[in-house]
Structure 1
Amino acid sequence: MTITPIKKTTLTLEEFLQQDYIEESPAYEYIDNAIVRKSMPQGKHSQIQYKICEVINQFSQTDKVAYGLPELRCNFGNRSIVPDIAVFFWERIPLDEEGEIANQFNSYPDWCIEILSPNQKPTKVIDNILFCLEYGTQLGWLIDSDEKIILVFEQQKPLKIYRHEEILPVINNLNLELTVNQIFSWLKIK
Structure 2
Amino acid sequence: MSTVITQSLTLEEFLKLPETKPASVYINGEIIQKPMPKGKHSRLQLRLCNSINDVAESVHIAYAFPELRCSFGIRSIVPDVAVFNWSRIPFAADGEAPNDFLLPPDWTI
TM-score, with structure 1 as normaliser: 0.55
The count of aligned residue pairs is 109
Shift of 1:97: 4.6
Shift of 1:25: 2.0
In the TM superposition, what whole-angstrom CA distance separates every residue of 1:68-98 from its partner, at most 9, and x where no partner exists?
Answer: 0000001112110000000001111112354
In the TM superposition, what whole-angstrom CA distance separates every residue of 1:137-189 from its partner, at most 9, and x where no partner exists?
Answer: xxxxxxxxxxxxxxxxxxxxxxxxxxxxxxxxxxxxxxxxxxxxxxxxxxxxx
**Match of residue 86 from structure 2:** 90
| Aligned residue runs from structure 1 range 40-59, under 5 A | 40-59=36-55
| Aligned residue runs from structure 1 range 9-158, under 5 A | 9-20=7-18, 22=19, 24-113=20-109
Query: 1:15 aligns to what SS in structure 2?
Result: helix
Higher relative CO (Cα under 8 Å, sequence separation at least 6) belongs to 2
Unaligned runs of 5+ in 2: none
Distance between the aligned counterparts of 1:87 and 1:53, measured in 2?
9
Whose Rg is larger? Answer: 1
Unaligned runs of 5+ in 1: 114-190
Distance between the aligned counterparts of 1:97 and 1:19, measured in 2?
28
Query: 1:107 aligns to what SS in structure 2?
Result: coil
Query: 1:25 aligns to what SS in structure 2?
Result: coil
In the TM superposition, what whole-angstrom CA distance separates every residue of 1:114-143 from its partner, at most 9, and x where no partner exists?
Answer: xxxxxxxxxxxxxxxxxxxxxxxxxxxxxx
Distance between the aligned counterparts of 1:9 and 1:27, measured in 2?
17
